[in-house]
Chains A and B, each alone.
Chain A
Amino acid sequence: MSKTKTTLKKKKEEKTGMVKIYIMGQAYDVPETLTIMKAMEYAGYKFTRGSGCRAGFCGACSTVYRKEGDFRIYTALACQTIVEAGMVLTQLPFVPADKPEYDINSLTPSANTILRYFPEVARCLSCNACSKVCPQEIKVMDYVQYCLQGQISKAAEESFDCVSCGLCAIRCPAEIPQYHVAQLARRLHGKYLMKTPDYLDIRIKEIKEDKYKEGFKEMMALSKEKLEEKYKNRDRESN
């Protein structure tokens, strides 16, 4: 018990170092352990756009930055990246990209379908600017090329980790909205090319044969108390 107390006390005495960062040109001193997003809030910014799940999954917090003395362009998701001294950053709370309407039920999984809705994919220069800025380290150019070549399943697999942050689209000289193209590829793959597991087909068949109809009817007729009781006494896997 006492050991914990001393450790806690020690932690309070260590002071967190501060680093200087530049948010949209203005300099701030922020604690070095914070993520970019937390550092911006520390500096007094309030997020009404450009922040979402705060867990690296929604792609809302795309950030572009450079470091003092370095000409390179870096990108990050603000909620996932710790600040660095000399960071000069700005955010892209929204990336404009026209999303065409399509009915997935009437499409065929082919290069021609992708090109029909995204003819700009044919302009891809294979320059790889997109892959370089992807915060998820996806090989973006590769999946765009797979789409052009009609290899839809490969494109779907390659683009799996995409969070639609939009950074690739903004860097693309051919003006392709890569993440929208990837979404179409994944949808085509999921609907037409991916093999469904056998047990799914079996279960769907069972449902169609009304195997669970009585059971559902029974459950729907129960009162709240009876439902709670059933829930408490449900079958559980014992460890």
Chain B
Amino acid sequence: MVQYSYFPGCNLKTDARGFEKSAIAVSKKLESELVEIPNWNCCGTVHTMTSDNLMKRIAPVRILARSRNHIEELEDTLNQAVTLCSMCNSTLKIVNKEMKEDLDALETINFQLEEDNETYENDMEVKHFLEILRDSVGFSKIREKVVKPLIGLKISAYYGCMLLHPDEAKIDDAEMPSVLEDLVESLGAESIFSPMFKHCCGSYHIVEDEDIVTDQVKKITGDVLSRGANALVVACPLCAYNLDQQQKMLMEKTGKKDVLPIFYFSQLMAIAMGEPWEINHFEDHKIDPRELLKKLKIEE
């Protein structure tokens, strides 16, 4: 069993626990087990784009240092820290590149970490779980493990920003990616393209100016629905919350009936591979995907 050092990120233990549990379950089935780093801290979600603030880079470097220590305990592993959250993917990759290019900054940060007996020596790579699935596991192997093909699901892939931006973080071509579509098709579902696939959901503006997010969600879901999709697949807990909660809010406010339930890609995999549904924690979703699944006669 290949094992990967897995970095959850702050939301994967709370709102996105279904994402984590389903991902760990399918990772075991695909013999590429995600093993959590025992002692991790928040990466900061959005990376600081200032050139002069080292304080905000300490957290990601610390994570990489801890991941490096962690892989000593794993079997058959690589120098890779694997994330499920797209924002963690972007932040960690950017900082990793910055540390490789600015050794002075790394040295200063290592001074801070030294007191906790940790050092980062630029010897880790950061991968998103989708990259592992595509490059190390392979879609044909995933296809083999499917016992309940997701017939009837017309899924539009919503990448969001951080899986594809910036250049050092992208897991696929930034303007025409295909990894989520390929994954969805390997599970037996139909993939529907929408040009809104990376139209920003509004991200952290949900805190102080909900209108911004509402407008974005309307644009995205409006286009996706007009193309005949019946669900969205995402890889970022913040996008998932924004799309889910805003649609629910609009549904209650305007009485609009057609909504798109949001799935994390690992939840789709878990259903298709016959895992028990409780690990997906569908009850946490604001728009319950089980209604759609029932309608399409996709059962546990």
A and B touch in the complex (CB under 8 A): yes
Residues of chain A touching chain B, judged by Cβ–Cβ distance below 8 Å, are 110-112, 124-128, 131-132, 141-142, 145, 148-151, 173
Known contacts A148-B10, A149-B14; is-contact A131 B112 (Cβ 8 Å):
no
Q: Give Cα A127 to B10, complex, Å.
A: 16
**Out of B13, B14, B42, B115, which one reaches A126, CB within 8 Å?**
B42
Known contacts A110-B14, A125-B58, A126-B59; is-contact A148 B42 (Cβ 8 Å):
yes
- Is the beta-carbon distance between A111 and B42 smaller than 8 angstroms? no
Q: List 28 A-B contacts (CB under 8 A).
A: A111-B10, A124-B41, A125-B55, A125-B56, A125-B59, A126-B41, A126-B42, A126-B44, A126-B58, A126-B59, A126-B62, A127-B55, A127-B58, A127-B59, A128-B62, A128-B112, A128-B115, A128-B116, A131-B116, A132-B115, A142-B41, A145-B40, A145-B41, A148-B10, A149-B10, A149-B13, A149-B42, A151-B13
Q: Give Cα A151 to B62, complex, Å.
A: 20
Q: Give Cα A149 to B8, complex, Å.
A: 10
Q: What 0/1 pattern do residues 97 to 128 of B give for CB contact below 8 A with A?
A: 00000000000000010011000000000000
Report if B39 contacts A (CB, 8 A).
yes
Interface positions, chain B 1-48, Cβ under 8 Å from A, are: 8, 10, 13-14, 39-42, 44
Nearest CB in chain B to that of A142: its residue: B39
Q: Give Cα A226 to B155, complex, Å.
A: 83
Q: What 0/1 pattern do residues 270 to 290 of B give for CB contact below 8 A with A?
A: 000000000000000000000
Q: Give Cα A112 to B10, complex, Å.
A: 12
Q: Give Cα A183 to B8, complex, Å.
A: 26
A residues near B44, Cβ cutoff 8 Å: 125-126
Interface positions, chain B 38-89, Cβ under 8 Å from A, are: 39-42, 44, 55-56, 58-59, 62
Q: Give Cα A151 to B39, complex, Å.
A: 12
Q: Taking the nearest CB of chain A, how far is it from the CB of B238, in angstroms? A: 13
Q: Taking the nearest CB of chain A, how far is it from the CB of B295, in angstroms? A: 31
B residues near A142, Cβ cutoff 8 Å: 39, 41
**Out of B14, B39, B116, which one reaches A111, CB within 8 Å?**
B14
**Out of A110, A112, A141, A173, which one reaches B41, CB within 8 Å?**
A141
Known contacts A128-B116, A132-B115; is-contact A150 B13 (Cβ 8 Å):
yes
- Apart from the given pairs A112-B14, A125-B56, A126-B58, 15 other A-B contacts in the complex at a CB distance below 8 Å: A111-B14, A125-B55, A125-B59, A126-B59, A127-B55, A128-B58, A128-B62, A128-B115, A132-B115, A142-B41, A145-B40, A148-B10, A149-B42, A150-B14, A173-B55
B residues near A111, Cβ cutoff 8 Å: 10, 13-14
A residues near B40, Cβ cutoff 8 Å: 145
Q: Give Cα A209 to B122, complex, Å.
A: 66
- Report which residue of A110, A126, A151 has the largest number of chain B beta carbons within 10 angstroms of its beta carbon: A126
Q: Give Cα A70 to B44, complex, Å.
A: 32
Nearest CB in chain A to that of B44: its residue: A125
Q: Give Cα A226 to B73, complex, Å.
A: 67
